[in-house]
Amino acid sequence: MRQATSTLPANVSHHGEVSEIKRKRGSRNAKLASIPLGIAGRAAVGFGRKLAGGDRTEIDAALAARAAEQLFTVLGELKGGAMKFGQALSVMEAAIPEEFAEPYRDALTKLQSEAPPLPAKSVHRVLDQQLGTRWRERFQSFDDTPAASASIGQVHRAVWSDGRAVAVKVQYPGADEALRADLKTLSRMTGLFATVMPGADVRPVLAELTARTEEELDYRIEAEYQRTFAKAFADDPNYSIPKVVASAPKTVVTEWLSATPLSAVIAKGTPEERNRAGALLAQFHVQAPAVAGLLHCDPHPGNFMLLDDGRMGVIDFGACAPMPNGLPRELGEMLRLARDEKFDLLTELLRDNHFVIPGRTVTDREIDDYLRPFTDPIKAESFHFTRSWLQRAAGSATEFDSQQFRTARALNLPPKYLMIFRVLMGSVGICAQLNAEAPYMRIMRDWLPGFADEPIHEG
């Protein structure tokens, strides 16, 4: 579960919460506003050094390191929407050129560090409102010390009345207003993030987070998504989805899942664990729409874990996209044509599905190069995902005068595919962080409509 801070400090009374939230909001906006000022000031200093004959590469790398440190330090202090944004970017850490990667990883580590918990009295007040004032009778025990914390809430371990170990997620008071305010402020700063991730367009990421804000704030919606996943994967030998025990708008109770977080596998997992985690993660994102009719839209290492029996545990269903008919068949056809180097048909299919901006011209080879992060892994039965490969595959997109960057400006990602591509790209990014070797070709052949001539698995 992802780390976060509480919205209110321990000494805030119930009657003082509203004024405290307003004061905090002003402080949050001031901290966000400090980011562009700091980055602009360092850029001016860097420009002066270049004029004085300084080494351009060294200066740019130093500026990027300081910008990353400032950016993610501020995001880490704010949590809420700012933290969600940082986590959405974190899955692509492996694609960042090496001269920028180290400060980026360090900043993300700080962003995900432990933060002060919501006081027990405030937790009890939320539970009184959400589960009723006699909520304690529904538990055999409840641990007031949070076991983990998320961007808009924190998780407590408890024992349900029937003896099951459960996780109780409680939303922070005022988290809704803070989340909306963070995303609104960040949307005005999209141009600054090119300093940390050169060539990256973060506007679609922010747009998706904003569009799903209301759903994520209502835990009843998350609970319904999780029930659907748990039912669809109930007998699956590869995945474990905790069942929902109870839910309310700002509280959800689910079965407790004990396993090794994917972040720990990335840090110190064995080659076998890394390979299995990568294969299961890649398969989950294409299998889920086929069997559950939903796409899990938060590909972050904190939401996936490995159980002792080898299954992958999945949590946090606040961000999901309904796909009752599974992934689009056209997507599988695009990847198959790219794999088989049938560029004429591929270009025609992309144009028919509004991927190419009208009036723009791109060559078949440019499109093939642009799709490399998705197509390289399907050119052999097994593929080794590495940071160095992903940096090469996505690297030229970070060079503003490169051919691939010009191609990106000629291609349009239709709304129908925006979330799908972000999730699949996030999955690929995590596989690269895992340094995993996975049968990506088989996974696509088994689960992605349109990729193979033979029928895919039935739900």
Closest CA to 378 of 364, 393, 366, 400: 393
Rounded distance between C-alpha atoms, residue 459 and residue 457, angstroms? 6
Least confident segment among 39-48, 267-276, 281-290, 354-363 = 39-48
DSSP string, 199-252: T---HHHHHHHHHTHHHHH-HHHHHHHHHHHHHHTTT-TTEE-PPEEEEETTEE
Q: How confident is the model at residue 222 (pLDDT cuts 50, 70, 90)?
A: very high
Helices (H), 359-402: 364-370, 372-375, 387-395
Where b means 16+ CB within 10 Å and e means fewer, 427-456 reads bbbbbbbbbbbbbbbebbbbbbbbbbeeeb
The set of residues, in sequence order, having a beta carbon less than 8 Å from that of 261 and lying 6+ positions away, is 301, 302, 304, 305
Residue 127 has pLDDT above 60, yes or no: yes
With tokens 């992605």, the residue in question is 448
Query: Lowest-confidence range among 28-42, 173-187, 281-295, 403-417?
Result: 28-42
CB 168 within 8 Å of CB 142: yes
Mean pLDDT of 347-353: 89
| Least confident window among 19-28, 263-272, 322-331 | 19-28
pLDDT (tens digit, 9 = 90+) per residue, 300-348?
A: 888 999 999 999 999 999 889 999 999 999 999 999 999 998 988 998 8
Tell me the fold of 120-171+218-255. Phosphorylase Kinase; domain 1 (3.30.200)
pLDDT at 293 over 90: yes
Which residues does 392 contact at the CB level (< 8 Å), separation at least 6?
none
Mean of all residue pLDDT scores within the chain: 77
Q: What is the pLDDT of residues 3-12, one digit of tens each?
A: 333 333 333 3
The predicted pLDDT at position 386 comes to 94
Average pLDDT over residues 230-255: 97
The first and second tokens of residue 33, run together, are 């506003």
Within 10 angstroms of residue 87's Cβ, the number of other Cβ atoms is 24
Residue-level pLDDT at 15:
46
**Confidence check: pLDDT of 396 > 60:** no
Q: What angle (nearest 5°) sits at the alpha carbon of residue 187, between those of residues 22 and 87? A: 90
pLDDT of residue 45: 39
Q: Per-residue pLDDT tens for 32-88?
A: 455 544 443 434 333 343 344 444 555 455 555 566 655 655 555 555 555 566 666
Task: Please say whether the dihedral angle defined by the alpha carbons of residues 30, 35, 41 and 44, taken in this order, is positive or negative.
Answer: negative
pLDDT at 49: 39
Mean pLDDT of 266-288: 97
pLDDT greater than 90 at residue 213: no
Sorted by sequence, the CB contacts under 8 Å of residue 365 that are 6+ apart come out as: 343
Q: Which two tokens stand for residue 248?
A: 């309310």
- H-helix or E-strand containing 166? strand 165-171
Query: What are phi and psi for residue 312, nearest 5 degrees?
Result: -100, 125
Contact 432, 386 (CB under 8 A): yes
In this prediction, what percent of the chain has a pLDDT beyond 90? 43
Q: What is the pLDDT of residue 114?
A: 46
> What residues does 255 pair with on adjacent strands?
166
Tokens 């051919």 correspond to what residue?
403
Q: What is the pLDDT of residue 280?
A: 98
Delimit the domains of the chain by residue range. Answer: 14-113+179-198, 120-171+218-255, 260-459
Question: What are the tens digits of pLDDT across the range 361-392?
Answer: 777 777 877 788 889 999 999 999 998 898 88
The pLDDT of residue 13: 43
Q: What confidence category does residue 205 fall into, taking pLDDT thresholds of 50, 70 and 90?
A: low
d(CA 396, CA 353): 25
Helix (H, G, I), strand (E, B) or coil at 2: coil
**Which of the 8 DSSP states describes residue 11?**
T
CB distance 46 to 63 below 8 Å: yes
Q: How do residues 409-448 score in pLDDT, each as one tens digit?
A: 567 778 788 889 889 988 999 999 999 999 999 999 999 9
What average pLDDT does the segment 229-252 reach? 97
Q: What is the residue type of 134?
A: R
pLDDT at residue 108 is higher than 90: no
With 70 as the cut, is the pLDDT of residue 243 above it?
A: yes
